[in-house]
Chain A
Amino acid sequence: MSDQTHLPGHDLAPGEEEQHSVGERVLGYVVGLGLALLLTATSFFIAGTDLVWQPSIPVALIVLAIAQMGVHLVFFLHITTGPDNTNNVLALAFGLLVVFLVVGGTVWIMSHLNANMPPMDQIMPKPM
């Protein structure tokens, strides 16, 4: 049985919850689903509306996406700040570090290359 039950003082496997009744676990998923649906609906509404200042829309979409990822991590994958979750959180933090380095670094470098590159006809003059 030690293969399946979570003993106090042990680590938790990723995705595993602490001991709760079935009702509490289902409620957690229902709350997560409600929050995720709300954030999704807001994203789709914001993307197509004229009600807000237009340059704020991309920022709002990114913030909403990150918030929804957080909701999924907490309510579906059960990542918590508890001591039994330290290993899972550390692995996640390292993964996020690499993701931000890759995406942020690429966008940063490529935008500078684009801005510093002269127009194509200056590099390769058209043949007479």
Chain B
Amino acid sequence: MSMTTTAGHVHADPHHIGVVIEHPGPASKRIVTAYGFWIFLLSDIVMFSCFFAAYAVLSGQTAGGPKGSEIFEQRNVAIETVCLLLSSFTCGMASIAADVRNRFWYYLGMAVTCVLGVIFLIIEFREFADLIARGYGPSRSAFLTAFFSLVGCHGLHVSAGVLWLLTMMAQVFAKGFRADVLRRMMCFALFWHALDIIWVGVFSVVYLLGGGT
């Protein structure tokens, strides 16, 4: 990265701003891949914002059915939140382990992430099953439709994330820490952290704001 000859400086400073910027050519594949996935994640967040907007509009339209404060259980939501938060942390540990090529900590971090994600899904599934068994399914009221579609959409993302996580463990097991496997691992970590950010919105807006008053 050292400065080149004077002729090189003329090309490196096309607007004569006195600052020489060396253009090293196209960005590396790792940056391009992660940036593309970042754009996808942002579009996914925009999609979630539509579900949030629908929930905000419909949260009072209970059509004689239950209100949020009657069906939400804060204790379960708190356990779910802690599970996702800790899984975000262990996912970070697994990415560090992948960067330093440490298989033991990588498998351990990913396994703990997987267990926490599955606990989250089980709690959420039982909550949904319980609501439907009591007759409060998504067709009961506009509020419940918005609730099931928003929280269910997040749950589907977590399910997909768990499948992806297992795939990444299998790929490292079969192929080792190859450059392409590490790129996928980086995208997976971005995905998992983004899901946690969306969950912050879900528990704040749906469970705490919708459960109060």
User: For chain B residues 21-58, which have a beta carbon within 8 Å of chain A?
Assistant: 22, 24, 27-31, 33-35, 37-39, 42-43, 45-46, 49-50, 52-54, 56-57
| Chain A residue nearest in CB terms to B105 | A22
Cβ contacts A to B, 15 pairs, < 8 Å: A3-B30, A4-B179, A10-B31, A22-B96, A36-B85, A44-B81, A44-B208, A68-B200, A72-B88, A76-B92, A76-B196, A77-B190, A88-B35, A91-B38, A102-B50
B96 near A65 with CB under 8 A, answer: no
Residues of B within 8 A of A (CB): 1, 22, 24, 27-31, 33-35, 37-39, 42-43, 45-46, 49-50, 52-54, 56-57, 74, 78, 81-82, 85-86, 88-89, 92-93, 95-96, 100, 179, 182, 186, 189-190, 193-194, 196-197, 200-201, 203-205, 208-209, 211-213
A13 and B31 contact, Cβ closer than 8 Å, known pairs A33-B85, A103-B49: yes
Answer yes or no: A120 CB below 8 A from chain B CBs.
no
On A, residues with C-beta under 8 Å from B are 2-4, 7-16, 22, 25-26, 29-30, 32-33, 36-37, 40, 43-44, 47-48, 54, 57-58, 61-62, 64-65, 68-69, 72-73, 76-77, 87-88, 91-92, 94-95, 98-99, 102-103, 106-107, 110
Q: How far is the CB of B20 from chain A (nearest CB, A)?
A: 11
In the bound assembly, the distance between CA atoms of A29 and B192 in angstroms comes to: 14
- Which residues of B sit under 8 angstroms from A9, Cβ to Cβ? 1, 22, 24
- Cα distance A2–B26 in the bound complex, in angstroms: 12
Pick the 9 closest A-B CB pairs, nearest first. A95-B42, A13-B34, A65-B204, A106-B53, A14-B38, A47-B208, A99-B49, A29-B92, A13-B31
Q: Is the CB of A61 within 8 A of B57?
A: no
Q: Chain A's interface: helix, strand, loop or mixed, by majority?
A: helix
Q: Which residues of B contact A4 (CB under 8 A)?
A: 30, 179, 182
**Distance, CA A92 to CA B24, complexed state (A):** 25
**Given A47-B74, A48-B74, 13 extra CB contacts under 8 A:** A3-B29, A15-B34, A26-B96, A29-B89, A29-B92, A37-B82, A37-B85, A40-B82, A43-B203, A43-B204, A72-B88, A88-B38, A91-B35
